[in-house]
Amino acid sequence: VEYSTVFLVLLSFLTIIVNQAPYMISGTMMIIIITSVRHDEDLDIQYVLRYSAVALSILFSGILVLGYFNILPNHDISIWRIDHLVYRRALGFTHPNSTTLSWCGISMTWMLTKVKYERLKFMILLLLTLGLYHFTYSRTSTYVIIAITATSFIYGDKIFRPVSRHVRYMSALIPVILLIVSIAVLFLPYNSRIDALLSGRIALYQQYYQSSGFSLLRDSELENSMFDNGYLQSILAKGILFAGELMAIYIVIPLWVKKNPSRISILTFSALCLIGFTETALQHFDILIPVVLGIYDSVFLPNQVNESRAISRYSRDGQTSRL
């Protein structure tokens, strides 16, 4: 049994007990998912990704159709952005951002699934994302998906090659850096133009901090408050203890893998961390699970690539000797 796993499990139970918050078991579930995927050598991750992508796409399409024709409850909203009013459609979901976040999880599942024509896959995902943005106007998730699909389109099949060890280690620092930046926002001088660009979020977060400050345990007054930053939600509303647990989990995701993961898996992991900066997406299992599967997919490991090349070379040499 690894000490890091035991430490995280004990930390998660301690967090639940001292906060008296059963819903914080989500951290424990994240640890269980990561550990299960990591140690199950018989798990065919590509099979899981492929059929999950197909099933989720069918379900998502059905909800969109029902929502478009107002068969499902209408949760469309209108918001003021800088100098104009924007009408945003939820298309069957509870909020336009929820629609795009759900699509984000599905698109990442497709990104991590190997197909015959990779560039065509990424082009289709890009076009579908742009089409969805026309209805939801959800910015962050859309921009992140566009960035990944565009980068992946340029790389083509090479996007599935493993990254270097240094890149893997650096990716583990991304959630920590974003947490530090999020906290810094609370102390930066107020800028009305930037605040307007972010729909008044900065002023709201600074107000939260001034009223409650930092606390080791959860703040019952802020738990139901509006947050669009997963890092600030974790530390202000749920407490430093829970935020520390969440950061520890995200740090070990790329560090626990035995070999260097693929470029696309590191991109999707980085994307999830970035989306958490403007959405409360850090505990969205529909995005987290495909990202974890991609990180630990053995099809991307260098030793697997070398073994397949060796087998192929051995087969060719054997055929040549027989001739």
CB-based contact 108:291 (threshold 8 Å): yes
Tokens (6 digits) for 135: 């209805």
Angle, vertex CA 241, rays to CA 236 and CA 243, nearest 5: 55
* pTM of the entire predicted model: 0.88
CB-based contact 88:129 (threshold 8 Å): no
Q: What is the pLDDT of residues 75-84, one digit of tens each?
A: 999 987 767 7
Summary mean pLDDT of the chain: 88
Task: Give the model's pLDDT for residue 309.
Answer: 40
Please give the chain's pLDDT, 323 residues, in tens.
Answer: 578 888 999 999 999 999 999 999 999 999 999 999 988 888 999 999 999 999 999 999 999 999 999 999 999 999 877 677 889 999 999 999 999 999 999 999 999 999 999 999 999 999 999 999 999 999 889 999 999 999 999 999 999 999 999 999 999 999 999 999 999 989 988 767 766 666 678 888 889 999 888 999 999 888 888 888 999 999 999 999 999 999 999 999 999 988 899 999 999 999 999 999 988 899 999 999 999 999 999 655 444 444 444 444 334 444 444 44
Contacts by 189-198 with C-beta closer than 8 Å and gap 24+? 196/82, 197/82, 198/278
**In which region does residue 189 sit, left (phi positive, over 0), alpha (psi from -120 to 50) or beta (all else)?**
beta
Could you tell me which of 201, 208, 60, 203 has the C-alpha nearest to residue 136? 60
**In which region does residue 213 sit, left (phi positive, over 0), alpha (psi from -120 to 50) or beta (all else)?**
left
Tokens (6 digits) for 103: 């699509």
| Residue 141 neighbours by CB under 8 Å, 6+ apart | 97, 100, 101, 103, 104, 275, 279
Per residue in 95-132, is it b (16+ CB within 10 Å) or e — as a string? ebbbbbbbbbbbbbbbbbbbeeebeebbeebbebbeeb
The whole-angstrom separation of Cα 141 and Cα 144 is 5
CB-based contact 184:232 (threshold 8 Å): no
Which residue shows structure tokens 């430093």?
A: 240
Task: Give the model's pLDDT for residue 304.
Answer: 46
CB-based contact 274:218 (threshold 8 Å): no
